[in-house]
Amino acid sequence: MPEEDLVELKFRLYDGSDIGPFRYSPASTVAMLKERIVAEWPKDKKIAPKGANDIKLINAGKILENNKTVGQCRAPFGELPRGIITMHVVVQPSVTKAKTG
């Protein structure tokens, strides 16, 4: 894939620090981005995801769905000059249901 087709993304964490930037193919899925975020998560953070399901990615005010591609998610920015797109990361641990009975 030509270098100019790659999308450059960074991920803004809850405390204002960033992970990235990294370059992704427009065909990469949101689920793939989440896996990378979990792998790159700084070890010194008080709040940390246990897995990709604990993360919500927000771009242009919308929560991104796991099956969407980077190309689909960056649509509002399609006309902007090349640059790094910042996505916000929210850690929301999945709730496990307590067994009753």
**Which of 61, 56, 39 shows the shortest CA–CA distance to 90?**
56
Q: Topology of 3-91 in CATH? A: Ubiquitin-like (UB roll) (3.10.20)
Give residue limits of the domains in the chain. 3-91
d(CA 33, CA 28): 8
pLDDT value of residue 83: 80
Non-local (6+) Cβ contacts of 14 within 8 A are: 47, 89, 90, 91
Give the separation between CA 49 and CA 54, rounded to whole angstroms: 5
What does the pLDDT look like over 18-63, one tens digit per residue? 999 999 999 999 999 999 999 999 999 999 999 999 999 999 889 9
Q: Whole-prediction pTM value?
A: 0.82
pLDDT at 68: 94
- Written as six digits, the tokens of 57 are 């990615």
Whether omega for the bond prior to residue 81 falls within 30 degrees of 0, making it cis, is no
Q: Which residues contact 100 (CB under 8 A, 6 or more apart)?
A: none
